[in-house]
Amino acid sequence: MKLRTITFGFSLLLIGSLVMAAKEPVSKALTNDVVNQQGKVISIEGVNNNRTIEAKGGEIVQIEGADNKVVIRGNVSKLIIEGKGNTVTGNDITTVTIEGADNMVNIGSVETVQIEGVKNHVHYKSTKNKSGQVKVSTEGADNMVMKMK
């Protein structure tokens, strides 16, 4: 009985949240984005954002959300993606960290790639590692790190 009451309560909470989200104008819901730069950290949060970042070198770019398209001009020390369906294009990124699903990264150079999730892809042209190999750590299913010609 107690479990049924708790389940019913969560169901009401979920339905209430969906009703409130439906009342929000579509344009506001789709452009729920925040671009913030604090020191050397550039953060993009939200859904369906198209952004170009002009990096000066050494920045950390953090993307949180879904279906964002980000172009990074210049070199950054770290790219962190948390979410689903994000696409990032860039030059040289020392470390790429992805947590989520269906994210795509196309970059010039990378040294380290860390992936947790499903169907995330990182395509790169070169690495600055002396071994000639990118250091890769993946956890999940159907993740891919591939050198492009």
d(CA 51, CA 138) in angstroms, rounded, equals 27
d(CA 133, CA 65) in angstroms, rounded, equals 30
Write the single-letter amino acid at 92. D
d(CA 140, CA 110) in angstroms, rounded, equals 21
> pTM for this structure?
0.75
The whole-number pLDDT of residue 19 equals 40
d(CA 130, CA 89) in angstroms, rounded, equals 24
Q: Are 138 and 121 in contact (CB under 8 A)?
A: no
Q: pLDDT tens digits for 83-95?
A: 999 999 999 999 9
User: Does residue 121 sit in the same domain as residue 104?
Assistant: yes
d(CA 74, CA 142) in angstroms, rounded, equals 29
User: Does residue 62 sit in the same domain as residue 110?
Assistant: yes
Using DSSP's 3-state secondary structure scheme, residue 17 falls into helix
d(CA 97, CA 117) in angstroms, rounded, equals 11
User: Does residue 16 sit in the same domain as residue 66?
Assistant: no
> At which residue do the structure tokens 């070199």 appear?
75
Instruction: Tell me the residue range of the domain where 26 lies.
Output: 1-30
Cβ atoms within 10 Å of 46's Cβ, excluding its own: 20
User: Does residue 9 sit in the same domain as residue 62?
Assistant: no
> At which residue do the structure tokens 């860390």 appear?
114
Q: pLDDT tens digits for 9-62?
A: 544 454 544 444 443 333 333 344 455 555 699 999 999 999 999 999 999 999
* Count of domains forming the chain: 2
Q: Is the predicted pLDDT of residue 118 greater than 80, yes or no?
A: yes
